Amino acid sequence: MTPPNPPFPTQIRPYGKAAIDQAARLIGEGLPVAMPTETVYGLAADATNPQAVARIYEAKGRPSFNPLIVHVRHLDQARQLGDFTETVLKAARHFWPGPLTIVVPRKGDAIPDITTGGLATVALRCPAHPAMQALLEATGRPLAAPSANASGAISPTSAAHVLQSLNGRIPLIVDGGDTERGIESTIVKFTDAGVVQLRPGPLSIEEVAGAAGVPAAEEPGRGIQSPGQLARHYAPSKSLRLNAVAAEPHEWMIGFGEIQGDDMLSDDGNLVEAAARLFAALHRAEASGKPGIAVAPIPHEGLGLTINDRLRRAATRENSRR
């Protein structure tokens, strides 16, 4: 039912015009490319293209749709995608381009839910590395880029690390040598109380607080949030039944492959397409007149593991504490 993934002979090319041109072409085709940044190598894809983002998850074998960092060329591009207060602008102007990721409310609908894990916020970062800057310029797109390693492996700081982890799963690694910082960017968000660190990184929270002119704050009762532990993913308010072969009368059916529905994740059982359509399908189900939602079985393999994880969370409403 699921077509086999296309095999990718993984090429490594030294950073230069030819490599960036090829990378930009691949990004335009909706494929992910490994790129050096000043922190770690990232697996970049067009952040506005749900299928391209689904292929990031597929290549990494990520067990769940963690929200991804969206890389931008400059502050102007960032301001099209997120809402910036004066304080946040101060921090961005001070540290960008550089290893600071800022979580802000999403603005507009250019960034799909699969990129943000369905959150109402988006994590934005303007990278300093010339290769990533060149790719942002060549594509004109914001680029989603998690660290370029298979899920569970450590973050890559050289092209050789990326190859070890993702050989055969991605078409291209742009080799920019060893990364300068070697650890992932500091992630912060700003609240009324000040700036909150969501992930430690090359910049200390005190530095960020100082530049923005606000105190370093902690989320009340939460302490430091480690990456991947975000609770507030999109969860439907309706009951969700998994592995359904047919809808009950009160249910909106989300089909897959041979199992037909009011809506289809993929007619031909393609998991990349299904992942790309998942969040939008849940939104349509939520908006439908039916009080319940049923979802066809999704094969428990490859990207299907990620889709099933997301569906299980939505079904148990583990995340409905808001």
Residues of the shown chain interacting with Mg ion in the complex, contacts defined by CB under 5 A:
147
Contact between 259 and ligand TXA per CB under 6 A: no
Considering only residues 184 through 203, tell me which ones interact with ligand TXA, judged by CB under 6 A. 184-185, 187, 198-199
Q: In the bound complex, what is the minimum distance in angstroms from residue 39's beta carbon to ligand TXA?
A: 3
Amino acid occupying residue 196: V
Contact between 227 and ligand TXA per CB under 6 A: yes
When binding is defined by CB under 6 A, the residue of 32, 50, 67, 118 that contacts ligand TXA is 67
When binding is defined by CB under 6 A, the residue of 26, 31, 45, 68 that contacts ligand TXA is 68
In whole angstroms, what separates CA 240 from the centre of its chain? 24
When binding is defined by CB under 6 A, the residue of 48, 49, 66, 308 that contacts ligand TXA is 66
With contacts defined by CB under 6 A, name the span among 169-177, 182-190, 259-267, 305-313 that binds ligand TXA: 182-190
In this structure, what token pair is assigned to residue 24? 């930009």
Q: In the bound complex, what is the minimum distance in angstroms from residue 146's beta carbon to Mg ion?
A: 5
Q: In the bound complex, what is the minimum distance in angstroms from residue 57's beta carbon to ligand TXA?
A: 10
* DSSP symbols for 95-114: H-SSSEEEEEEB-SSSS-HH
Residue with tokens 């992942």: 275
With contacts defined by CB under 6 A, name the span among 38-46, 237-245, 259-267, 293-301 that binds ligand TXA: 38-46
Amino acid occupying residue 81: L
In this structure, what token pair is assigned to residue 73? 């060329």
- Which residue, 2 or 186, is less far from ligand TXA as judged by CB? 186
Q: In the bound complex, what is the minimum distance in angstroms from residue 307's beta carbon to ligand TXA?
A: 18
φ/ψ bin of 235: left (φ > 0), alpha (ψ from -120 to 50), beta (otherwise): beta
- Which residue, 3 or 152, is less far from ligand TXA as judged by CB? 152
The C-alpha atoms of residue 100 and residue 106 are separated, in whole angstroms, by 18
- Which residue, 97 or 261, is less far from ligand TXA as judged by CB? 97
Which helix H or strand E contains 211, and what residues bound it? helix 205-212
- Which residue, 103 or 235, is less far from ligand TXA as judged by CB? 103
In this structure, what token pair is assigned to residue 303? 């990207």
Contact between 157 and ligand TXA per CB under 6 A: no
C-beta of residue 8 within 8 angstroms of C-beta of residue 58: no
- Which residue, 145 or 264, is less far from ligand TXA as judged by CB? 145
C-beta of residue 275 within 8 angstroms of C-beta of residue 57: yes
- Whose CA is closest to 271, among 233, 247, 297, 250? 297
- Whose CA is closest to 175, among 7, 5, 23, 3? 23
Phi, psi (5° rounding) for residue 76?
A: -60, -45
Residues that bind ligand TXA (CB under 6 A): 37, 39-40, 42, 66-69, 101, 103, 116, 119, 121-123, 125, 127, 145-147, 184-185, 187, 198-199, 227-228, 230
